[in-house]
Amino acid sequence: MTPQHIYLTGDTHGSFDRIYTFCQTQQTTRQDLLIILGDAGINYYGSKKDALLKQVLSELPLTIFCIHGNHEQRPTAKKGYEEQLFCGGIVLVQPEYPNLLFAVDGEVYDFLGKNCLAIGGAYSVDKEYRLARGWGWWPDEQPDETIKAKVESVLEKRNWQVDIVLSHTCPLRYEPTEVFLPFIDQSKVDKSTESWLGQIESRLRYQRWYCGHYHVTKQIDDLRFLFEDYLMLGE
């Protein structure tokens, strides 16, 4: 599939009412791609609830491309996911839901002639709150050393240049501190992923960087945070 139009949006957390409306308004087709910048919430429960949501989403006139977030499980072979080649990079797909694609960290995708690097994951500041209530939390929410090594190796081979970065969280210096939750002690927040992304950003030559995670709509320099808004790739 070669996408006709490519859109981006922020976290959906398993709630897709606004996506249904978007499809109607834009009159989308399966040739249109919507990139969700993490926390799509499609792989959250690990149960029939996920399957029911996937069945509904499989009927949308849209192809969904998900960056990994922190409030969801990683797709794996044990969960029925298979590797497929999509726009020059590897994605994970369950055959019964061919329009639900999950990016692999460190892969570079050719989207309308733009080289787009996927880097998912982040730390959950609500980790203790979620664990105390039996809510979903997964220890592999952040990129591990293997993922980091892959990303850096890919960039090294590309002479530290890509057109677009698609991530869930952002480089440390771009953190939108104005939307931090006031009851969270920031000294206890693990910002290793943001620090690592900051190291990458300081070396990388890129045109645009898109991320979600912070539930804010904002642009700083060439980096854009998305939440419930939509943007066409490269716009």
**CATH code, 94:** 3.60.21
Residue 13 is predicted with a pLDDT of 97
Query: Which domain, by its residues, includes 14?
Result: 5-232
Determine the pLDDT at residue 31: 97
Pairing mode of beta strands 218-220, 223-225: antiparallel
- Residue 100 is encoded by which pair of tokens? 């639900």
| Helix 192-203 with 145-157: angle, nearest 10 deg | 10
Question: pLDDT in tens for each of the 235 residues of the chain?
Answer: 889 999 999 999 999 999 999 999 999 999 999 999 999 999 999 899 999 999 999 999 999 999 999 999 999 999 999 999 999 999 999 999 999 999 999 999 999 999 999 999 999 999 999 999 999 999 999 999 999 999 999 999 999 999 999 999 999 999 999 989 888 888 889 999 999 999 999 999 999 999 999 999 999 999 999 999 999 996 6
User: In total, how many domains does the chain have?
Assistant: 1
- Residue 188 is predicted with a pLDDT of 86
Contact 5, 29 (CB under 8 A): no
- DSSP states of the chain: ---SEEEEE---TT--HHHHHHHHHHT--TTEEEEE-S---SSSSSSHHHHHHHHHHTTSSSEEEE---SSSPPP-GGGT-EEEEETTEEEEE-TT-TTEEEE-TT-EEEETTEEEEEE-----TTHHHHHHTT----TT-S--HHHHHHHHHHHHHTTSB-SEEEESS--GGG--GGGS-TTS-GGGS--HHHHHHHHHHHH-B-SEEEE-SS---EEETTEEE-SS-EEETT-
> Would you say the pTM of this structure is higher than 0.95?
yes
Please, how many CA atoms are within 13 Å of residue 161, restricted to the half-sphere of its CB? 2
